[in-house]
Structure 1
Amino acid sequence: MTEPTAVVLEQQVELRVTGQPDVKNMYGSGHIRPTEAILRYMASGLRAQVYGRWVREDGEMTDAPCSNDYAAHEGDTSEWPGWLADLAATWRPTTPDEDPARIDRLYSEVTEHASTQSIDLHIQRAQRQERLWRSRVERLVSLRAARVEQKQRGEWPAAGVRQNGAQR
C-alpha cells in the first residue's frame, strides 16, 4: 500500500495594485489602468490577469472594466509588462523543501528581469523571514530550557509520554 500524499497543483495570489503604468488593451483599442492583478502559480507554468478601467485612445478614463490575460511557460515573463513580471517574481510562493535564503535558488525572473524595486522587495521579504525564523528559534530554545528544568525537577509536561520519550 502506498503512503497518502498531497501535492500543491496551483497557488493563487490576488493583489490590489496602484500607481502601475497603464497596459495596452490586448483585445481592443486603448489601455487598461490596472487596479488588480491575479497571479496563478501552477506546475504547468504561470498565468496572470490584470484588471482595471479602460482608458480610451484619447486618454479619457472610463468606468468600463477591462482585463488582460498573460501566460508564462517555464517562468518566461519577458513578454509581460515589467511591473507585472516583478510582482510575479516577488510574490512567487516557496515550496516546503525550498530555502528562500539560498542565493543560488533565485529564479530567472528575479535574476534576469527584476528592477531595483523588485530586488528591494525580495530583500525585505528575506529580512522578514529571517526575523520570523530567529523568533521561532528563540521560542524553541526557551521551551527546551523549560523542559530541561521540568525534567530535572522530576516533572514531565506531556501526558502519556514517559521521560525517555516513549509512548505509554
Structure 2
Amino acid sequence: MPAETSGPSPAYLALARLGRTDARLALSAADCSALEGPAAAWLARGVGEEYLIRALTAGLPDAIGSPVGFVRRRLRDKIPPGVAAVPAPEAPGTPPPRPMVECVECGAPGRVEALPDGLCRSCRTPAQDAVTEAVPAAATEAATGPPPGRGDVMAYVGTLRELLRLP
C-alpha cells in the first residue's frame, strides 16, 4: 500500500478553488491532478495561490467548452517570469555606498564632492575655482541677508556665461 501524503498540495487546492471562484472553470479531481504539475511550477516561481487564481480567472470568455483545456493553456501561456532573489538588507549602521566618478577631462577617479562640475582640481582653471567657491558663499549670504538685487544676479549670470564659452 503506498504511503499517504499529508494532504493535497497548494497547487491542487488552488485549482480546486477555481470552480468556486468562477463556475466556468469547475475542474474535476482528475483534472486538478493532471494540472497540478504546471500549477506547482507557478508557485515555484514565487507567486501565491491567490495570484494564481486571479491570473487564471481574469478576462474569461462568456462560454468555455473545456475548462481543463482552457486552464491548461493559461497555465502554459501566462506563466510569470522567475522572481529574482531579493538581496539581503545591509546591517544597521552600515554607511551607504558612496559612488565614484571620473573627471571628464583627464579621467581621474574621485568622489562626487571632489569633482565639482565634473572636473578634478588639476583640470579646473582658477576662474572656475573662484566661481565654485563663491556659489556656496553666495547661497549662505542670500539665506542670512537681504535678497540680491537685479544687478547682482545679472553680474553673476554674466560671469557664468563667460565661463561657459568655448576657448
TM-score (norm 2): 0.21
> Greater Rg, structure 1 or structure 2?
2
Instruction: Give the structure with the higher percent helix.
Output: 2
TM-score by length of 1: 0.21
